[in-house]
Structure 1
Amino acid sequence: MEQLRLQGSDLAYLAPELTLVIAAVVLSLLDLLLPKRVNRTALGWLSLVSIVVSGLFVLGYLNPTEPKVLLNFSYRVDDFANIMKLILLTGAALVTFMSIGSVKEEEVPHIGEFYYLLLPATLGGMIMASSGDMITLYVGLELLSITSYILVAMRKKDLRSNEGAFKYVVLGGISSALILYGMSFLYGMSGSTSIAEINAALGQNGEAMMPFLYLSFFLLLAGFGFKIAAAPFHMWAPDVYQGASTPITAFLAVVSKAAAFAIIFRMLYGVFGIGELMSLPFHGDMLLSLMVVAAAAMIIGNFTALRQNNLKRLLAYSGIANSGYLLVPIAVQFAMAHYSNFSEFAFYLIAYLFMNIGIFAVLMIMERSSGEEAISSLAGLYYRAPGVAIATVLLVLSLAGLPLSGGFFGKVYIMMGTMQTQHYWLAAVMIGTSVVSFYYYFGLIRQMFMRTDFESRDVVVPLPLGITLWLCAGISVLLGIVPQWVLGWIEQIFSLTQDLFFLS
């Protein structure tokens, strides 16, 4: 029973989460007490400091001798969670930093609320990454979801924002209900909400409960598919991306998606992917279903992006395609010939983080200069702002997955793992859809270098946006030059049995 109580010493392991909780409360009080005419920029800096402090606490708990479990195994502090938390906090920090002094009042009417609402949203993702129990998982999921709904709906007077927020709330509620319904079947079959205990119970009785096993898995797959915007559960993404202000869109595209992938990895392997269930036909069907969803996301995302004229909608479909690429390491399962699934996934997720936040920084610069989100707003960018254009080219090369970029090696590592497990058709889909993506990605470069902006509008780059842009572009290139540094660091820290496969 001692494990059910949270000891005072255990609070130290919750320092990253408690930092964000305290900061969110303090910032909300400050925002209420400060007069309306006072600039809220200081709140942005305080929010950024709290995220950095939380990240430092996470770094302090990296690579422990053994995972720390709290509250009867419902919360885990292990290196799977720590690496995912660092990714989430990095994304949140970059979104916060590039927003300071860069967003206009019409884009984010309540800037103070924007800064402190990002903190509980990030906290929800961190809880999801550390969850060892379905109740903890759902609490983190809803904390992230509800906060995201509010962030998307902040532009109350914008019709597109209202439409996107309405679709997001309705479809998000349906997806949460599907996840909860799937969890209820797991609880009914096992009598427990603990992921490890559910796996043990299903391993003993799974064959007798096969119909309910399939039903629970497909309900969870549909619910989580919405959260990561993977086809065919992606229909909300383009409208929500276009309706939300650009920093919030960047947050949804990177941080929210990374949190959902963290729990997919934790849940699908912890419940369905190990133990006695591996000997049942269900296991192969589960992996095949994930592969089909991954392939559908890659095909639909890339081919639909070809027809887009709005940059936000193009990035939405690009994100759908990237959800497919990120699902592949989860779908191909660990095997003796291939057990680096998580390191491949984490490397590409890191590359995805920097190249996407960087391109959203470009979009924010163009919005400030022309007030437009159309791809044509990039016309003649090289002649108006050469530095911004060069950084954008570096980011686009990484998005397209060309050599000497983080995106290239991320896709190569995933593809090699797919080939090692002999899923050649899935590798072929990856290659084919990547080639298709060259057309619309290079369309951005064509606009910058081969088109003219007849109005010759000046491009003003606020310092935080400029730093974020070049930081993301530089890291995208660095990941392509020395990918082994990051991949080796992940493999050195992460332990498959300790950090992903766990027993009660």
Structure 2
Amino acid sequence: MANVTFPFPFPDHLITLLPEMIVAVLAMTLLLVDLFISKENKIWTAYMAVITIVVAAIATIQLYPVGSIEAFYGFFVFDPFAAFSKLLLFAATAISILISIDYMKDENHVGEYYVLMLFAMLGMMLMISATNFIILYLGMELMALCTYVLVGYQREVLRSNEAALKYFILGALSSGMLLYGITFLYGVSGSFDYSDVGAALHATGNASDPAVLLGLVFLLAGLAFKVSMAPFHMWTPDAYEGAPTPITAFMSVAPKVAGFVVIVRVAVDALPAMQTEYMTILTGMAILTMAIGNLAAIAQRNIKRMLAYSTVGHVGFVVLGVIAGNADGYAGILVYLSIYMVMTLGIFAIIILMRREGIQGELLDDFAGLSKVRPGYALAMGLFLFSLGGIPFLAGFWAKYAVFIAAIEAGHVYLVLYALLFSAVGAFYYIRVVKYIYFDEARVTFEFTESRVMQATVAITAVAIVALGLYPDPLMDACKAAVVGLI
């Protein structure tokens, strides 16, 4: 028998892709199994999706690396930064699935809904570990295509269809801009690998070349869209309002984690020679993002739209960690995203609990007088809102503290003062909701969904906000350990 020679050897360290392989295989299996599950028993599809995430998380923890491990011909990296970020993804996706169970129980084809969330998470996992622009693009498109469908999943709801269409059109435009930027960087380096692009820019010293600058601008524009950074945030309010509320919660957290990890990796590995240029661009975008997000949120009467603009504002704060460009800044990003995940998922869980016949629980008026009927939910909502506003000593205070201190250490004092100004603006519209809850008379009849899973989610996230506010050191130490070796 003739010897067969393959063009490439078998990839090394393939075991580091085990979490991705688990999610891919079990998600495809679940898609087939769901065909044989009756509509009344679709809850088991949700539970199996959560089990899939738990198995992948266990595999990630078991493989948690000490240093950086490259796999799949150098296209994939598994390091503490990637492992920690994936654990955040797992937590965000699992909680989003659990808070979807009661919300989606009357929808058709709900099994595919949970599978799409798994595939969206898989795309984000690939983005996090990518060291090659092609792998990055494939992961990003897998995430985006699944998210487009999830936003428009309630096909009988007009605003859901409208939001999905807007998101799809603008998302396709941003993907084209990202690819356009990648082609310019490929043209000057001859490679799609982050490290090769960085080495070529450093060796040739052509960081100021017009083609390179054009590539940088389009690359940052494409990435900015994925994290809702102004002026590429236009899709965010409509998509957040129109999507099913659990998907709004999912989109508020998971894509932001993946997007900022990609931005950090690209900045560290591919663009170190262009640090001055990309920091100048990001500084302008951060200022615009904080201003638009916090000022536009004041005018919103729908709490999902308010939280959409709030997300834009928080993205502006997180960008400060990238602009700092040091280990403390990158660790601050992980701290911020970890705490933001807990706050956001908790607040959306309460919004879902308030959903009932004829009322979505989305208008600010729906929260008026909540403290007189359900003081426990009112207290939790108040904690989440105060934490989002950065009130000491709740967890949100330490999230902002981490990125602000890193930016000050890097010499961006005036930028931090600007951020503090808009943080105060943000505190205004959060406190306004608290005023509705505690000081206004009830304007609707409160009939809450009785769900143990949802109630547990609210209780756990509220306790976590207080605990992290009083004792943030373990989280901060874990985030600092995750960025060791990154730069």
TM-score normalised by structure 2 residue count: 0.95
How far has the Cα of 1:205 moved from its partner? 1.7
Residue number in structure 1 paired with 2:331: 343
Counterpart CA distance in 1 for 2:361 and 2:405 is 40
Mapped contact 1:62–1:493 kept (Cα < 8 A):
no
Of 455-464 and 51-60, deviating more is 455-464
Counterpart CA distance in 1 for 2:300 and 2:194 is 41
Of 204-213 and 20-29, deviating more is 204-213
Q: 2:389 aligns with which of 380, 384, 400?
A: 400
Mapped contact 1:67–1:77 kept (Cα < 8 A):
yes
Spell out the pairing of 1:58-457 with structure 2 (5 A cutoff). Answer: 58-64=60-66, 66-105=67-106, 108-207=107-206, 210-273=209-272, 277=273, 282-334=274-326, 339-368=327-356, 370-457=359-446
Cα distance change of structure 1 residues 383 and 45 upon mapping to structure 2, 3 Å threshold: same
How far has the Cα of 1:4 moved from its partner? 4.8
How far has the Cα of 1:209 moved from its partner? 6.1
Spell out the pairing of 1:468-483 with structure 2 (5 A cutoff). Answer: 468-483=457-472
SS at 1:168 equivalent: helix
Counterpart CA distance in 2 for 1:171 and 1:307 is 24
Percent identity over the alignment is: 33
Cα distance change of structure 1 residues 157 and 423 upon mapping to structure 2, 3 Å threshold: same
Mapped contact 1:99–1:464 kept (Cα < 8 A):
no
SS at 1:347 equivalent: helix
Mapped contact 1:6–1:70 kept (Cα < 8 A):
no
How far has the Cα of 1:420 moved from its partner? 1.4
Mapped contact 2:395–2:465 kept (Cα < 8 A):
yes
Counterpart CA distance in 1 for 2:138 and 2:104 is 31
Counterpart CA distance in 2 for 1:441 and 1:229 is 20
How far has the Cα of 1:27 moved from its partner? 1.3
Residue segments in structure 1 that go unaligned for 5+ positions in a row? none
SS at 1:76 equivalent: strand
Task: State the AA in 2 paired with 1:320.
Answer: V
Task: State the AA in 2 paired with 1:420.
Answer: E
Counterpart CA distance in 1 for 2:345 and 2:186 is 38
Counterpart CA distance in 2 for 1:389 and 1:438 is 17
Counterpart CA distance in 1 for 2:171 and 2:103 is 29
Q: Deviations over 1:116-155 (max 9, x none)?
A: 1110100110100000111111111111011101111111
SS at 2:355 equivalent: helix
Task: State the AA in 2 paired with 1:191.
Answer: G
How far has the Cα of 1:268 moved from its partner? 2.0
Cα distance change of structure 1 residues 284 and 10 upon mapping to structure 2, 3 Å threshold: closer
Mapped contact 1:109–1:154 kept (Cα < 8 A):
no
Residue number in structure 2 paired with 1:29: 32
SS at 1:453 equivalent: coil
Counterpart CA distance in 1 for 2:250 and 2:164 is 15
Cα distance change of structure 1 residues 463 and 208 upon mapping to structure 2, 3 Å threshold: closer
How far has the Cα of 1:33 moved from its partner? 2.5
SS at 1:69 equivalent: strand
Residue number in structure 1 paired with 2:56: 54
Residue number in structure 1 paired with 2:41: 39
SS at 1:361 equivalent: helix
Q: Deviations over 1:295-346 (max 9, x none)?
A: 1111110000000000110010000001101111101222xxxx31121110
Mapped contact 1:225–1:233 kept (Cα < 8 A):
yes
Of 353-362 and 372-381, deviating more is 372-381
Counterpart CA distance in 1 for 2:155 and 2:167 is 15
How far has the Cα of 1:201 moved from its partner? 0.8
How far has the Cα of 1:104 moved from its partner? 4.3
SS at 1:368 equivalent: coil
How far has the Cα of 1:206 moved from its partner? 3.4
Counterpart CA distance in 2 for 1:11 and 1:472 is 36
Mapped contact 1:102–1:462 kept (Cα < 8 A):
no
How far has the Cα of 1:6 moved from its partner? 3.8
Counterpart CA distance in 1 for 2:452 and 2:20 is 30
How far has the Cα of 1:418 moved from its partner? 1.5
Of 174-183 and 477-486, deviating more is 477-486
SS at 1:367 equivalent: coil
Task: State the AA in 2 paired with 1:116.
Answer: V
Q: Deviations over 1:45-84 (max 9, x none)?
A: 00001101111111112242x3221122100111111111
Task: State the AA in 1 paired with 2:294.
Answer: N
Q: Deviations over 1:235-265 (max 9, x none)?
A: 1100011111001111111101211111111
Cα distance change of structure 1 residues 95 and 212 upon mapping to structure 2, 3 Å threshold: same
Counterpart CA distance in 1 for 2:482 and 2:173 is 37
Task: State the AA in 1 paired with 2:458.
Answer: L
Cα distance change of structure 1 residues 157 and 185 upon mapping to structure 2, 3 Å threshold: same
Mapped contact 1:3–1:71 kept (Cα < 8 A):
no
Q: Deviations over 1:462-482 (max 9, x none)?
A: 111111111111111111111
Mapped contact 1:45–1:100 kept (Cα < 8 A):
no
SS at 1:388 equivalent: helix
Residue number in structure 1 paired with 2:21: 18
Counterpart CA distance in 1 for 2:65 and 2:386 is 33
Mapped contact 2:93–2:250 kept (Cα < 8 A):
yes
Task: State the AA in 2 paired with 1:296.
Answer: L
Mapped contact 1:375–1:444 kept (Cα < 8 A):
yes
Counterpart CA distance in 1 for 2:127 and 2:277 is 26
How far has the Cα of 1:283 moved from its partner? 2.9
Cα distance change of structure 1 residues 196 and 495 upon mapping to structure 2, 3 Å threshold: same
Counterpart CA distance in 2 for 1:298 and 1:3 is 50
How far has the Cα of 1:156 moved from its partner? 1.2
Mapped contact 2:351–2:362 kept (Cα < 8 A):
yes
Cα distance change of structure 1 residues 470 and 59 upon mapping to structure 2, 3 Å threshold: same
Counterpart CA distance in 2 for 1:260 and 1:421 is 23
Counterpart CA distance in 1 for 2:6 and 2:481 is 33
Counterpart CA distance in 1 for 2:7 and 2:389 is 48
